[in-house]
Structure 1
Amino acid sequence: MQKLNFPNYSFRFKNSENKTFIFDVIRKKFLLLTPEEWVRQHVVNYLIEEMYYPKSLINVEKLVKVNGINKRYDIVVFRNDGSFFLLVECKAPEVNITQQTFDQIAQYNLVLNAENLMVTNGLNHYFCQMDFENEKYIFLKELPRF
């Protein structure tokens, strides 16, 4: 897999039927290693190892209803009170981050109301803090630590 713009992490892999799987420490199972999953697993490790977010407050790939349509967010981090602290949208490295990507995460966030957003393709990372009052995001240099 492609080298990403994250620190080096050790991952558990397994091969089966000519396919490679990567272990997800949050979902506690092996998942097919796709370019997007490669990015998602780096983000999970980044949140735990660099930003000190507790594993118990991280959730990966769960259903969210947006305008009556079932969607799946990539990663969220909760606050201790159960509210949404961070929403992350992951794309494969070959996918450019565009306005459409920000529109997608903004749609999810209309439902979730996370205070912070992260959009990444593993190579480029964008961090935002929501300004709900003025309905805009403020770009940050990095995410707040836990």
Structure 2
Amino acid sequence: MNDYFNKMKTINLKGKVYVFCFIRKQYYLLTQEEWVRQYIIYYIINKRGYNVKDIYVELKAYRAHMTHRMDIIVFKNKRPFIIVECKSKYVNISYTSCDQLMKYYLICKSKYIVLTNGIKTIIFGVQNKGKDIEFLKDIPHNY
């Protein structure tokens, strides 16, 4: 994480700290959830080898007449590959969080789903059209 702290681009405006998002190409208020989101983006790019052009942040998706915003979605071969739901470090990973992530899975049918609050991270590999789920120790490398 120290590597990330050294590379985080921030500015102070009117007593508030903003962080630059390399995906959305602008500054955002540095909330606890935004910190987790930016760290995961950094990790996916720099430690797992995914390309910036394949990553989307707060992508809107529609299901059952509702709009959902997925925190991070990584595409591979033009298909959803990883969905990440980020929470503040003060939010416990709970059934409600998992339920939200599963709704996103039903929309996108990605191969991997990740739920994190920056302290605890749960990674699932989904196969066989959602019938088989395996827990993983890390986000898979981009090969």
- 1:20-99, aligned counterparts within 5 Å? 20-80=17-77, 82-99=78-95
Task: Report whether the alignment pairs 1:107 with 2:103.
Answer: yes
Question: Aligned-pair distance for 1:136?
Answer: 4.5
Residue identity matched to 1:140:
L
Residue identity matched to 1:23:
F
Question: Aligned-pair distance for 1:138?
Answer: 1.2
Q: In structure 2, what is the equivalent of residue 8 of structure 1?
A: 3
Equivalent in 119, 133, 136 of residue 115 of structure 2? 119
Distance (whole Å) between structure 1 residues aligned to residue 24 and residue 128 of structure 2: 31
SS at match of 1:37: helix
SS at match of 2:3: coil
Q: In structure 2, what is the equivalent of residue 144 of structure 1?
A: 140
SS at match of 1:8: helix
CA contact (8 A) 1:89 1:119 kept: yes
Residue identity matched to 2:115:
V
Structure 1 residues not aligned, in runs of 5+: 1-5
Aligned pair count? 140
Normalised by the size of structure 2, how large is the TM-score? 0.93
Normalised by the size of structure 1, how large is the TM-score? 0.91
Task: Report whether the alignment pairs 1:129 with 2:125.
Answer: yes
CA contact (8 A) 1:87 1:114 kept: yes
Question: Aligned-pair distance for 1:101?
Answer: 1.0
Q: Which runs of 4+ in 1 moved over 2 A?
A: 131-137
Structure 2 residues not aligned, in runs of 5+: none
CA RMSD in angstroms comes to: 1.3
